[in-house]
Amino acid sequence: MSQKLLDGVSTKDESDVRWLLDNDPAININAVGGHHFCETALGIAVWRGHEGIVALLLDRGADINIVGGTYGTALGVAAYCGNERFVNLLLDRGAHVNTMGGTFGTALGVATYWEKERIMALLLYRGAEVNIVGGTYGTALGVAASMGKEGIVAFLLDRGADINTVGGALGTALGVAAYWEKEGVVAQLLDRGADVNTVGGTYGTALGVAAYRGNQDIVGLLLNQGADVSTVGGEYGTALGMAAYAGQEEIVALLLDRGADINTVGGAYETALGVAAYRGKEGVVALLLDRGADVNTVGGKYGTALGVAVRNENGEILNLLLDRGADISTVAGRYGTALGLAVYNGNEKILNLLLDRGADVNTVGGTYGTALGVATYAGYGWVVELLLDRGADINTVGGIFFFFVNHYSYLY
């Protein structure tokens, strides 16, 4: 029934809204579900610019700080509209200037995105925290950086914005500017003291962000300003790992030319080679191997780059790694060997490829001892038969159940 209230507010019919509030007990004045950027009755009333309905809703108990929609709160909607009168009214009625919510974090973030400098100044005057972290872009400065608006960036810096505050997936305002390829703002932030090596977010550093995006100009600018090419951080370890993830071969080569350690360990897949194998970027895998990547570096959930390729069931990269010296019998990771991982995946093509390329069916390692132990744990009867046909020793000792018979009796 609350949709009636939202509809009444949308049509700016104050008498209808008053009647609903007086006579319909099913009305929830704080229901969320209106327009995508203002999902409450109060937010819609602010958007529609109806001061009488705003006052009525507040007098009847509307929660002035309820969060919903792109702009977070009614105050965020007022900031979007650039309506100073409503901003002051809401603040005077108890709106919290730093309430978090929505895409842009706070009302200050909303005002920043829409370049409402007078609203920004008013919110700061009324107590907005310029460095509060929240929303997609981390901070209001991050919002400004995403748009490439050097004037707004300067406005916030001049009013105390911390240039190195970390927040959001992109880490810092410098990372945001790098992601959105705003080279002018990147240069501006560096000139104003941004730490080029601050670590934070999914991409680790601003260099990691730029490497992922494949922007050679920004990568070069960051390197020339002292970016450490081998800093470890983020989901894929290093800037080299980020470039590998995105398949940015030219950036991979550039980073290596500028001194990146090709075998640095860090991130979900340990090395840049592991990342490239995970993503199926055959060109990057070949480039890294040509430039000296250690094909047998051990680490991570899947053990080696070969294990990563097995996990992703990529026969082409498997063959490439094996052709370039990958040790098919390396013991690492939960499943012991690449063969053990292939067994767990249950991919017959990859299993046969590894066996045909010389995988030892009886190598012991990992939680389940042998490839046969993995197969019985997973309940793959057809894989058990395949491995036995290929020479698996039923009495090999290893793993948490010690030998295959214990696995088999446990399952069957």
Work out the burial of residue 181: count CB atoms within 10 Å of its CB; fewer than 13 is exposed, 13-18 middle, 19 or more buried: middle
The structural domains of the chain, with segments of one domain joined by +, span 1-129, 328-412
pLDDT band at 412 (very low <50, low <70, confident <90, very high): very low
Contact 296, 330 (CB under 8 A): yes
Whether residue 77 is predicted with pLDDT greater than 60 in this model: the reply is yes
The per-residue pLDDT for 303 is: 84
pLDDT band at 336 (very low <50, low <70, confident <90, very high): confident
Whether residue 151 is predicted with pLDDT greater than 70 in this model: the reply is yes
Report the CATH number of the 328-412 domain. 1.25.40.20
Whether residue 270 is predicted with pLDDT greater than 90 in this model: the reply is no
Please report, in angstroms and rounded to a whole number, the separation of the first and last CA atoms in the chain. Answer: 56
Is the fold of 1-129 the same as that of 328-412? Answer: yes
The string of pLDDT tens digits covering residues 35-52 is 656 778 899 899 989 999
**What would the two tokens of residue 408 be?**
């088999």
Taking the C-alpha atoms of residue 275 and residue 269, their distance in angstroms, rounded to an integer, is 5
The per-residue pLDDT for 399 is: 63
Cα R_g (the chain), whole angstroms? 29
pTM of the predicted model, to two decimals?
0.86
Whether residue 31 is predicted with pLDDT greater than 90 in this model: the reply is no
What single string gives the DSSP state of each residue in 27-45? --TT-EEEETTEEEHHHHH
Quickly name the fold that domain 1-129 has.
1.25.40
Task: Please state the rounded mean pLDDT for residues 248-257.
Answer: 97
**What would the two tokens of residue 234 be?**
């983020």
State the chain's mean pLDDT as an integer.
90
Taking the C-alpha atoms of residue 191 and residue 179, their distance in angstroms, rounded to an integer, is 18
Task: Please state the rounded mean pLDDT for residues 213-236.
Answer: 94
Residue 221, φ and ψ in degrees, nearest 5? -60, -45
The per-residue pLDDT for 300 is: 76
Three-class SS of residue 33? strand
Whether residue 229 is predicted with pLDDT greater than 70 in this model: the reply is yes
